[in-house]
Homo-oligomer: A and B are copies of this chain.
Amino acid sequence: MIVLFTDFGLEGPYTGQVLAVLQQAAPEIATIPLFADAPARQPKPSAYLLAAYAQWFPEGTVFLCVVDPGVGGDRRPVVAEADGKLFVGPDNGLFDIVLRRSSDAKLWEIAWRPPSLSASFHGRDLFAPVAARLARGDPLTELAHRTNERSADRNWPDDFGEIVYIDHYGNALTGLRGSQVPATARLVAGGHSIPPAAIFSAVLPGEAFWYVNSNGLAEIAVNGGSASTVLGIEIGGKVTIEN
C-alpha cells in the first residue's frame, strides 16, 4: 500500500498527477490519500501529525510524503526507514519524529534521478517514482545510499505544544500525545482552559473539552460545534498543559 501525506490539496492538479505516476509505475498497488492538507509549507507540525497517523498503518507500508517548501533548493531527497515502514520525501524534518519514535531507524539519501526533473514538483517527478518502485519491492540499495547524518540539528521536542491540524469538523489536533498529558489535566489554548472528557456527549452542546483521539493525539473539540471557530484557534496556536 502507498499512503499519501501531502499539503497538495486533492482537487487541484498535484494529487492527480502523482496518482497518475503511481498508476503507471505500480498499477497493482493500492494508493490511499491520508492527508492532502497537512499544514501547508510547514514540516514541523506535519512531522508530529505524520508520526501519529503512520503508527496506525501496517509494516510494509510506503508513505509518499511531500511538505516541501524548499523544493528545488539544496535539501536532500531521502527515504526514512522506521520499524518496517518506508517514508519517501524531503529531508527537512518531516521524518524526524517518526525516526525518533522508532526502535529501528535508518536514513537513506535518494541517489536515483528521473530523466526529467522539474524545479518545483519533485513529488511527481522524483518522490512518486521512488515510492512506486519501493512499493513494488525494488531494494532500497538500488535507489539510495545509507546516510547517518541529518541535514540539520532541529532540536524539536518529543511532544509539540501547538495546534498541528484543524479537521473538517473544526476539531483541533495538538502535537501532544495523549499518553504524555495527565488524564485529569486541563489544556490551555486560545486563552481558554479546557477540561478533559471521554466522548463528545459527555459535555453539554457548545462546550469545549479535550480527549485522546483515535490515533493517540490530544485533541480539542466542542460538542456539536467547531472548536476552531468557538475557541478562535488555528494551526500554530500554542497549547500548554495546566496541571
Interface set of A (CB-CB < 8 Å, partner B): 1, 3-4, 7-17, 19-20, 23-24, 27, 30, 32-37, 40-41, 53, 56-58, 69-73, 118-121, 124-125, 165, 167-169, 198-201, 211, 213-215, 224
Q: Interface residues of A: mostly helix, strand, loop or mixed?
A: loop
Candidates B3, B8, B24, B125; contact of A168 at CB < 8 Å:
B8
Contacts of A10 in B (CB 8 A): 10-11, 33, 36
How close is A50's CB to chain B, nearest CB, in angstroms?
A: 10
**Residue of B whose beta carbon sits closest to that of A119:** B199
Contact B73 A199 (CB under 8 A): yes
**Residue of B whose beta carbon sits closest to that of A121:** B214
How close is A51's CB to chain B, nearest CB, in angstroms?
A: 13
Contacts of A16 in B (CB 8 A): 3-4, 32-35
Contact B224 A168 (CB under 8 A): no
How far, in angstroms, from A93 to B10 measured CA to CA in the complex? 26
How close is A129's CB to chain B, nearest CB, in angstroms?
A: 14
Candidates B15, B24, B69, B199; contact of A120 at CB < 8 Å:
B199
How close is A121's CB to chain B, nearest CB, in angstroms?
A: 4
Besides the known contacts A17-B53, A40-B168, A120-B213, 7 further A-B residue pairs in the complex with CB atoms under 8 A apart: A3-B16, A3-B20, A11-B168, A13-B167, A16-B34, A16-B35, A17-B34
How far, in angstroms, from A12 to B166 measured CA to CA in the complex? 9
Contacts of A168 in B (CB 8 A): 7-9, 11-12, 14, 36-37, 40
A-B contact pairs, 20 of them (CB 8 A): A7-B169, A9-B168, A12-B35, A12-B165, A13-B34, A13-B167, A13-B215, A14-B168, A16-B33, A16-B35, A17-B56, A19-B33, A20-B32, A69-B201, A71-B200, A72-B198, A72-B199, A73-B199, A120-B199, A120-B211
How close is A156's CB to chain B, nearest CB, in angstroms?
A: 19
Contact B169 A40 (CB under 8 A): yes
Contacts of A19 in B (CB 8 A): 32-33
Contacts of A58 in B (CB 8 A): 24
Contact B20 A200 (CB under 8 A): no
